[in-house]
């Protein structure tokens, strides 16, 4: 019985560690090496295409914007 309890605890710890590792936030550079620009190669769909390959999760960071002189950001 003692060995079974130890096995159950070991499995619970392993599963918990796997779940916690999978929930870490990721940081993305918008547009990768292209950065953030008002006229990217590929036109207006460039950023949509870039984002479509990523599954964003709560807590992820869209950071390290690589601004170019032609960048215009409006809100």
DSSP secondary structure letters along 20-68: HHHT---EEETTGGG-B-SS-TTGGGHHHHHHHT----TT-EEE---B-
Q: What is the pLDDT of residues 22-75, one digit of tens each?
A: 567 788 888 877 777 777 888 878 888 888 988 888 888 887 555 555 555 554
Closest to 47 (Cα-Cα) out of 58, 57, 39: 39
Does 32 or 21 have the greater pLDDT score?
Answer: 32
Give the span between the Cα atoms of 65 and 29, in whole angstroms.
6
Predicted confidence at residue 72, as pLDDT, reads 53
Predicted confidence at residue 67, as pLDDT, reads 52
Predicted confidence at residue 56, as pLDDT, reads 85
Does 20 or 28 have the greater pLDDT score?
Answer: 28
């Amino acid at each position: 019985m003692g060995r079974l309890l130890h096995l159950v605890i070991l499995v619970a710890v392993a599963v918990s560690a796997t779940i916690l590792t999978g929930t870490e936030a990721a940081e993305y550079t918008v547009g990768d090496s292209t950065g953030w620009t008002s006229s990217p190669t590929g036109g207006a769909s460039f950023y949509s295409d870039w984002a479509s390959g990523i599954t964003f999760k709560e807590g992820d960071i869209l950071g390290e914007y690589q601004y170019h002189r032609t960048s215009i950001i409006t809100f």
